[in-house]
Structure 1
C-alpha cells in the first residue's frame, strides 16, 4: 500500500463516481478501478458497493475514509512544516545579548523578528558577558550571540564572528560628580577614580577593553567593584560607588542619579554577532538578515 492508493480511495469515496474521480486525479478510469480493487484485496474487505448507476461506501469503507482523511491531512501538514522549516519560516532560536545590546537593540529586534518571522520562536538571554556567550554557543544553549570581540588569545575557529557596528565610549558618572558638567571626560580625568567594571578573568571583553584604555593613558586603573550585569554597574554609579566606562548604547539605560558624558578620543569597541560555524539553519540565516537590517537602521 502506498499513499497514492489512499488518495485514489479518497477521491472515489468523495466523488462517488469512478469517472469523476479519475478526472480529479488526472488519470484514466480503468487504472483507477484496478488500483481500488488491489487496495480492497490487500485490506481483505470491500470498500465500495458498485452498481451501474452509483458507487457507495460500505460500512468498512465509511470507517476507512475517516482514517484516510486524517492520515492524508497529517502527511500534508508534515510536508508543509518541513518546507517551512527548510525555508527558515519555522523553528526555534535562542539569542544572547551583552548588556548594552540588551537595552539598545533587543527591544526593536524582538519586534522585527516577530513581524518578519512569525513562525520562528525566538527566546532571548539578556545581560550575558562575552565569555558566557562563547561557552553557551559551544554548548548549544544559544544559537546567536550579540557580544564584544572575544579576543585573540584563544582559538575561535569553531565560531563565525562578524562585526555589526563600532560604538564609542561614554563615562557614567554620579549626577553630583565633579565631572558631571563637563562636555567630555578624558581618560586622564579618571586616574584617581574608583572604577566599576564588568567581571574579569576572561568573562567580559569590556573588562579587558577598559583596562587597556587606562593603560594606554599611562595609569593602572583602580578597580572598586566588578559586576556581571550592566544594570548593576550603572546602579552602583548612581550609588556613588565609583564611575564607569561603557559603550554608548548603555545610555539607553536611564538610572536616576547618573549622567553620561562622552569619553574624549577616537577609541571605539566593536559589537559583533557570532554563531557556530557549522550551523546552517535557515531560520538562523533569516534572523541574521533581520538583525543586520535592524542595525543598519
Structure 2
C-alpha cells in the first residue's frame, strides 16, 4: 500500500468526482482510476461505487476514509517532528555542570536556549564535580557538561571557554573584608572551607597548589561538594574559601568576595561532550554557548589583566567610596555597607 494512493483516495472521497480529483492531483484520470483499483486490491475491499452519474463511498470506504486521514496526519506530524529534530528544534538534552558555572554563565545560556528551542526538553544536573561529570558523559547519562580542566577522558571533546580569576570569600565582619585585593599569603593561618580533596575536583587542586606556592598548606576545617554550601558556611563564619570570582553573582548575604592578587593563577571553565556525537540539538546548544560568550563582557575572563575588585562593583559603591574615603564592602554585587 502506497501513501500516494491514500492521498488520491482521500481527494476522490472528498470530491466524489474522478475528473475533479484528477485535476487537483495533477494526474490523468486513467492513472487515478488505476491507483484506486490498486488500493482496493491492497485493502481487500471495495471502497468506491462508481457509475456513469456519480461516485459514492461504500461502508468500508467511509471507515477507510476516517483511518486514512488519521494515518496521513500522523505521517505529516512524524515528518515535521523529524525535520524539527534535524534542525535542533526538538528533542532532549541533558546538561551537567559544576557549581561555579551556575551563578553567572549557565543562567544566560539556559534562558537563551529555552527561547530559541522551546520544544527541546532541557534537563539540568548539578552541582557535580569534574570527575563525576566526565563519567556521566562517557556513560551517556549527560550530553553536555560544564566542568573544570583537566579532564582525563579521551572519549570526550573538550573546549575551554574561559579562564576565571580566583577570589577569596570571607565573612563580612572579617578584617580582610576591608581589602580591595587579597594576597594569598595572608590566609596562612585561616581555617578553610573547600571542596573535598578525595573527590578529585579541579577547584581543590588549584586552591591547594596556589596555597603551597604561597608558602603554606591550607587548614581545611570543613568540606562541601556544592559551591553554594561552601558559600553558606563561609557566611556562617566557619572559615574562608578560594573560589572563582563568578561566585559573586550569587549576591550572598553575610560574605564578601575579594579578588586574589594578579600573580595567583586562575581556573579554567570548559564545556565537554562525547566525541563523534552528531546530535543537532547538542550542536545548537554549543552554538548558543559560543554566541553567549562572544557577547559577554565580563572582567572575570581576563586573568592576566590587572582588574581590581572595583570591576565587580556597581556605581553606587564607587560613588560612596569617593565620597567617604573609606572601604566599601560588597556582598554579591549590590549589597552595601557603610564604611
Structure 1 stretches of 4+ with a deviation exceeding 4 A read none
Alignment partner, residue 202 of structure 2:
205
Q: Is the 8 A contact 1:99 1:250 kept in 2?
A: no
Partners in 2 of 1:74 and 1:9 — Cα distance?
Answer: 17
Q: Is the 8 A contact 1:131 1:150 kept in 2?
A: no
Q: Is the 8 A contact 1:146 1:271 kept in 2?
A: yes
For 1:117-132, list aligned pairs within 5 A. 117-132=117-132
Alignment partner, residue 222 of structure 2:
225
Partners in 2 of 1:79 and 1:239 — Cα distance?
Answer: 56
Alignment partner, residue 170 of structure 1:
167
Partners in 1 of 2:11 and 2:113 — Cα distance?
Answer: 41
Q: Is the 8 A contact 1:98 1:130 kept in 2?
A: yes
Q: Report which stretch shifted further, 97-106 or 282-291.
A: 97-106
CA offset at residue 253 of structure 1? 1.6
Partners in 2 of 1:139 and 1:34 — Cα distance?
Answer: 54
| Alignment match of 1:215 (pick from 212, 219, 225) | 212
Question: Any idea what the Cα deviations from partners look like across 1:175-223, whole Å, max 9, x if unmatched?
Answer: 1112110111001111111111112224311010101111122222221
CA offset at residue 255 of structure 1? 2.5
Q: Is the 8 A contact 2:129 2:199 kept in 1?
A: no
Alignment partner, residue 274 of structure 1:
272
Change (3 A) 1:8 1:237: same
Q: Report which stretch shifted further, 184-193 or 201-210.
A: 201-210
Aligned with 1:179: secondary structure? helix
Q: Is the 8 A contact 1:170 1:262 kept in 2?
A: yes
**1:246 and 2:234 correspond:** no
**1:7 and 2:19 correspond:** no
Partners in 1 of 2:73 and 2:219 — Cα distance?
Answer: 67
List alignment gaps of at least 5 residues for structure 2. 297-339
| Alignment match of 1:284 (pick from 270, 282, 285) | 282
Number of corresponding residues: 294
Partners in 2 of 1:253 and 1:45 — Cα distance?
Answer: 70
Aligned with 1:290: secondary structure? helix
Q: Is the 8 A contact 1:132 1:203 kept in 2?
A: no
RMSD: 1.4
| Alignment match of 1:259 (pick from 256, 261, 284) | 256
Q: Is the 8 A contact 1:175 1:258 kept in 2?
A: yes
Aligned with 1:103: secondary structure? coil
List alignment gaps of at least 5 residues for structure 1. none
For 1:127-142, list aligned pairs within 5 A. 127-142=127-142
CA offset at residue 92 of structure 1? 0.3
Alignment partner, residue 327 of structure 2:
none
Q: Give the TM-score of the pair, scaled to structure 1.
A: 0.95
Aligned with 1:192: secondary structure? coil
